[in-house]
Structure 1
Amino acid sequence: MTWQFLAILGGLAIVLALALWALWEFVASAETRRLIAERSALAQAEYEASTLSARLDLAIHRTQWGARLYRRINRSGAQVRLSTFVVALVGGSLLAVIVVWQVLAPVLGLLAAGGVAFLFFSYLNRAEAKRREEFTAQLPDVARVLGNATSAGLALPTAVSMAAEELDGPAGEELGRMAESMKVGASFEEAVSELRERMPSRELGVLLSTLVVASRSGGSLVTALRNISSTLENRKETRREVRTILSETTSTVWALGFMSVGALFMINAIEPGILRTMTTSPSGVAVLLVVAALYTVGFLLVARITKFDL
């Protein structure tokens, strides 16, 4: 029991330290924002680069998984720093381990840490998918604006800049990044490749392929963009109908997952200590692992079945 008590104290100390660090960062940043409100943009950038959060961002970004996570956060459009996401993930996992370890059983505490990580990355996946869907829904407007701009005699880079100013996010933001890439020397094909990597979708691929072919060989770009605009509008309506039909199934799966976790706490409340007793025997642990595996397989199967690509 001594080592368990020390482990719990160590976990609580880490969680408390993370909470105090977050509070200190919030208070310090609020005061500093007031002081640098009238300073130049360069001075503000220098300050932001010298903060503890910025240094932690840089340290995490230097790792391979950190750079990949940073790209995913950018693609999701979440207004959260890389260090904040990682600290929240680690702190939440530790807190889940401590709570579930004490309330239910040590083995379930370890599973709870995996569950917290799963929820964090599920949120990131859903944010990425949502932003990608919003961007895809704006593609008819993108094609329409680009078609109007090119029909007025504007070059493609200029048309992209104009579309970035007229459209809301995320299409306006992504086209703005594309325009900025071309301003700093990237070719049109390179900027298109970067946009396709950030927002992978079949509709965007068709639109960008048309733009690349037109930039290389010319042709009736205006007519092509208008035809693409009407086609993308029809595909958007079809995707909306399919998503509405499947939304009930996906919501039911998530509800069943949360209900299963709540059932564990309910069983332990009815018969205190039953799960701790159950996890002391190999057969009890095996039963819990089998149940968790079945829930996981069911969740993955339903996610696979309800996934559609129009």
Structure 2
Amino acid sequence: MNWEILADWRISAILLALVLVLAVALWALWEFVSGTQQRRMIAERSALERAEHEAAAPMARLEVALFRTQWGARLHRRIARSGADIRLSTFVVALSAGALSAVVVVWQVLAPFFGLLAAAGVAFLFFSYLNRAEAKRREEFTAQLPDLARVLGNATSAGLALPTAVAMAAEELDGPAGEELARMTESMKLGASFEEAVAELRERMPSRELGVLLATLVVSSRSGGSLVTALRNISSTLEHRKETRREVRTTLSETTSTVWALGAMSVGAVFLINSIEPGIMRVMTTSVSGIAVLLVVAALFTLGFVLVNRITRFEL
């Protein structure tokens, strides 16, 4: 009898222990879930507060103010096309600070006239960098067009629709083609038609080769046809054009480098003359004839730079 009572007590104790363990486990699970939700709420609240703080920052307000202007919106599109990881407000502030610093330094070293020219030169360098970044990214995108046409041809030959083929190409290709195709895919996901997404891509990346490829895709999406054969032919043609462009660019690189070297040497010559004869540039800018000579020299250098730039520009 005592053994039966002892066994019953053991069973009861085991059951009680299991109940306590289950209760503790449920309590721990509840604490974990509630703690996770609380941490998420704190993170969301901190992210919201951080976003509000960033939106209230002076640079963010300047960004919004610049973007509302037509000039600022156009400059923002150019920065986006160049692929530069810089905000519109940062670019404008850096440009203004560089121009102001050039005015102050060159004004004191040479003369007020050269200070104004230095400010114009700083602005020219900033926008030249932007132009070169745009051209470089466009050239890199153009160089990827044969691979793009090949990927689209393989995808369409497998029976995939054009939007799906574009999304697959965005995943397989590196930037900038992968980035631009990802934007195109995201635009179609948000409700834009294939033609509208193509038009946006063509506006961001103006190129004759891209125009031919996109026109083929648009015509095929409207009327059908042998898209696979067309894409393979386009891929072969673009490969040959890429090699030709590379050869021409290599031939013209020496001329463009010489122009930039001459421009740097002319600026250095001005400082060299002023160091040999201190104050000569300030004296020269005090007379009308001296200012006229300097303006003629600057105009000739500018004209030469523009002419060489036009001559070395090529379109295949």
TM-score, length-normalised on structure 1?
A: 0.86
Aligned-pair identity (%): 81
Partner of 1:57: 63
Partner of 1:152: 158
**C-alpha separation in 2, matches of 1:150 and 1:42:** 43
Partner of 1:96: 102
Provide closer, same or farther for how the CA distance between residues 154 and 46 of structure 1 changes in structure 2, counting only shifts above 3 A: farther
TM alignment of 1:130-279, pairs within 5 A: 130-279=136-285
Deviations 1:237-275 (A, max 9, x none): 000000000000000000000110010000000000000
The structure having more radius of gyration, on CA atoms, is: 2
Q: CA deviation at 1:50?
A: 3.6
**C-alpha separation in 2, matches of 1:152 and 1:166:** 16
Q: Match of 1:158, as an amino acid?
A: T
- Secondary structure of 1:208's counterpart equals helix
Q: Match of 1:302, as an amino acid?
A: V
Answering whether residue 290 of structure 2 is matched by residue 280 of structure 1, we say: no
Provide closer, same or farther for how the CA distance between residues 55 and 208 of structure 1 changes in structure 2, counting only shifts above 3 A: same
Provide closer, same or farther for how the CA distance between residues 97 and 55 of structure 1 changes in structure 2, counting only shifts above 3 A: same
Q: Match of 1:52, as an amino acid?
A: P
Unaligned runs of 5+ in 1: 1-35
Q: Structure 2 residue aligned with 1:118, among 112, 118, 124? A: 124
Q: CA deviation at 1:68?
A: 0.5
- Secondary structure of 1:153's counterpart equals coil
Provide closer, same or farther for how the CA distance between residues 228 and 86 of structure 1 changes in structure 2, counting only shifts above 3 A: same
**C-alpha separation in 1, matches of 2:243 and 2:51:** 44
Partner of 1:15: none
Deviations 1:161-205 (A, max 9, x none): 110011000000000000000000000000000000000000000
Q: CA deviation at 1:131?
A: 0.4
- Secondary structure of 2:160's counterpart equals coil
Q: Match of 1:308, as an amino acid?
A: F
Q: Structure 1 residue aligned with 2:133, among 117, 123, 127? A: 127
Provide closer, same or farther for how the CA distance between residues 42 and 214 of structure 1 changes in structure 2, counting only shifts above 3 A: farther
**C-alpha separation in 2, matches of 1:164 and 1:292:** 47
**C-alpha separation in 1, matches of 2:142 and 2:215:** 15
Q: How many residues align?
A: 274
Which is worse superposed, 51-60 or 180-189?
51-60
**C-alpha separation in 2, matches of 1:114 and 1:188:** 43
Q: Structure 1 residue aligned with 2:301, among 275, 295, 306? A: 295
